[in-house]
Chains A and B, each alone.
Chain A
Amino acid sequence: MARVLVIEDDAATAQEIVTELAQRDIAADWVADGREGLNKALAGGYDAITLDRMLPGMDGIAVVAALRERGRHTPVLMISALSDVDERVRGLRAGGDDYLTKPFASHEMAARLEVMLRRSQLQPLSKLRVADLEMDLIERTARRGQRTIELRSAEFRLLEYMMRNQGQVLTRTMIFEAVWGYHFNPTTNVIEVHVARMRKQIDGPGEPPLLRTVRGSGYVLG
């Protein structure tokens, strides 16, 4: 069972995080103070950390910077009320792995955390595989069984992202950030349409479906 350290000074937010993670069989320890949080993180034993940007005792940026300085690579999800692009850049530059703006939907937070937990175990690969779906990142080809799948550039990036994070719930915002590299919420269902088209490409008639929609949350491949 994965263990997550929640460094968050707002009790309600912390409670939400802990409950959501418990639902997903992730154990969470909650600390409200920055300095104490850093000590616990340094003590080790955690697979990931959610870290509030503004904390009593020690600022979130300082915590993650101190952690990285001491050679700890535990993935950190920064959570902040500051949505400014500059703030995001600062958080990531200090060593955060992902950045989430308050208020957030708990499924979004959980999905990001789960991807981070998995990512820490992943190795860079040149070939990806989900059941009989295969992707060659060097040849830039994809096939399902014997059937070749023609992919345009955006579709290729989308499939690569989903295959790298197979079995994980990926939210629309995560997909938009990872595949297009932008950090605002697209106003309409433009991502859904992309995923729907991808689904048509990889799940042919008669084949067992690989791409699944998680209601109110996102998508899972495999």
Chain B
Amino acid sequence: MARFADHWRTSAFRLSLLYGGVFVVAVLALLGLIYWRTAGYMILQNDEVIDLELHAFQKLDAAALRERIAHEMDRDVRHINVYGLFDHDGNQIAGNLVSAPPGLPEDGTVHRLRDARLGEPWQALPQLRGAALLLGSGELLVVGRDVAPLIEIRAIILRALALVGSLTLLAGIGAAGLLSVSPLRRIGAIKSASERVMRGDVKARLPIAGRHDELDMLAGIVNSMLDEIERLLSEVKSVCDGIAHDLRTPLTRLRARIYRLQQDLDRQPQHQAAAEQAVAETDALLARFQALLRISEIEDSQRRGGFADVALDDIVAQTIELYEPMAEARSVRLVYAARAKPRVHGDGELLFEAINNLVDNAIKFSPAGGSVQVELDEDARGARIDIVDSGPGIPAQEREAVLQRFYRGEGTREAPGSGLGLSIVSAIARLHRFELELADADGGTRVTLWCAPLRLHG
């Protein structure tokens, strides 16, 4: 299950949220417009009613006017109408308006009516509008009316807004989450394909869903990049192999010539020594080329014909038997502890070669009086072979590099060997999909060969 942060980072998720936000704003604008136009219309209607009433009242005589006002107040069950009749001094004659509203022009047109003091059971009305007119009798007539439904409509619109807004947001988040599931799943597939490439499978390619969307386009670009890298790699490799192969034959002939020369030489010791040295140098060169070609051979043999059920403890025991005299000659203690008898699926000959190389290195880099411990064990992750030496150790930043061809650690350039031992082990491990791990061990180095095929996780 992908974490929320993963979902949040997908473009699908963010776009969905953005759309949700824009939608909420649009709904807000629409409802605002409706409210504004509705309010304007209702105020207009209200004003017309006031105007009509005012002009109807104006035509009545004094007694009829008082009677009409009382009558209208009786009829006003919703308490939204306001009437006021005041004498010349501003004293109330009739109506529910307690005092003449200040600031209301006495021009017979409708204005907003503020600060109206009303008698019971009328209450302060929020959207009150009214008109004042000075009658011929000198009395002041005020007619007002509240735009009551406007408040209700506003409340309805606000409720609708809250409901629509939150629903849109919820739906947006939900849709965003759902929409990001598929891209995340594809990213997962791309990740595991990339991991295969990083593990050296140069033939692996990123999956393409066939939707021609951004992810497919990107995967396509990366894949053509990988094609090019694979082509370059194989070119470099074939050049390397070619050089190694082409040079090996003349080197072999050179060795034969020097060897023959050595046989024919007079018995003068200085000539003999020089010839012997020349043969040894040529042998060292040949060993290097041979190791190089050996790596290619192992890497090429994607075949697993030689794979069988292999008893690791037999193989390790053979290695110990082979290297025990060398350790003794170098005064290095070689200790072997088999804590399990694991069986693995692999090529016995190649595994023997790999373990040989590891033990060889460990003995070579251990000082006289040091020790090399070889441990065979098995746990939940699978079988493991540990080779722990008491050599100078490998600095953390060099551990990656020592697995590469020809790499020699600082200060080990003088040590014998082709510099390809660990590369051969690496190649063998890759063929088996085993994992080679280097770690620190009290100053020395612990090399672990995990003898379980790597599982792809992703």
Q: Give residues in A with beta carbon < 8 Å to B.
A: 12, 16, 20, 23, 83-86, 102-107, 152-154, 180, 182-190, 193-194, 196-197, 215-217
- Expressed in whole angstroms, the minimum distance between the Cβ of B42 and any Cβ of chain A is 96
On whether the beta carbons of A193 and B329 are closer than 8 Å, the reply is yes
Partner of B417, one of A23, A182, A188, A194: A188
- Expressed in whole angstroms, the minimum distance between the Cβ of B352 and any Cβ of chain A is 6
Q: Which residues of A contact B276 (CB under 8 A)?
A: 215-216
Q: Contacts A103-B248, A193-B329 known; A184 to B256 CB distance under 8 Å? A: no
**A-binding segment of B94-102, B150-158, B356-364:** B356-364
How many residues of B are counted as interface, with CB atoms below 8 angstroms from the partner's CB atoms? 48
Q: Considering the complex, give the chain B residue whose CB is closest to the CB of A20.
A: B256
On whether the beta carbons of B360 and A187 are closer than 8 Å, the reply is yes
List 12 interface pairs A-B (beta carbons < 8 Å), by A numbering. A23-B263, A105-B255, A105-B256, A182-B353, A187-B360, A188-B416, A190-B325, A190-B356, A193-B329, A196-B325, A215-B262, A216-B279
Q: Which residues of B contact A152 (CB under 8 A)?
A: 321
On whether the beta carbons of A106 and B256 are closer than 8 Å, the reply is yes
On whether the beta carbons of B259 and A107 are closer than 8 Å, the reply is yes
B253 contacts partner chain A, Cβ-Cβ < 8 Å: yes
On whether the beta carbons of B305 and A86 are closer than 8 Å, the reply is yes
On whether the beta carbons of A184 and B259 are closer than 8 Å, the reply is no
On whether the beta carbons of B259 and A190 are closer than 8 Å, the reply is no
Q: Which residues of B contact A12 (CB under 8 A)?
A: 253
> What 0/1 pattern do residues 232 to 260 of B give for CB contact below 8 A with A?
00000000000000001101110110011
Q: Considering the complex, give the chain A residue whose CB is closest to the CB of B283.
A: A216
- Expressed in whole angstroms, the minimum distance between the Cβ of A219 and any Cβ of chain B is 15
Q: Considering the complex, give the chain A residue whose CB is closest to the CB of B264.
A: A23
- Expressed in whole angstroms, the minimum distance between the Cβ of A149 and any Cβ of chain B is 15
Complex formed: what's the CA distance from A216 to B259 in Å? 7
Q: Which residues of B contact A83 (CB under 8 A)?
A: 293, 297
- Expressed in whole angstroms, the minimum distance between the Cβ of B348 and any Cβ of chain A is 9
Complex formed: what's the CA distance from A181 to B262 in Å? 31
Complex formed: what's the CA distance from A71 to B422 in Å? 47
- Expressed in whole angstroms, the minimum distance between the Cβ of A72 and any Cβ of chain B is 30
On whether the beta carbons of A103 and B353 are closer than 8 Å, the reply is no
- Expressed in whole angstroms, the minimum distance between the Cβ of B250 and any Cβ of chain A is 9
Q: Which residues of A contact B251 (CB under 8 A)?
A: 103
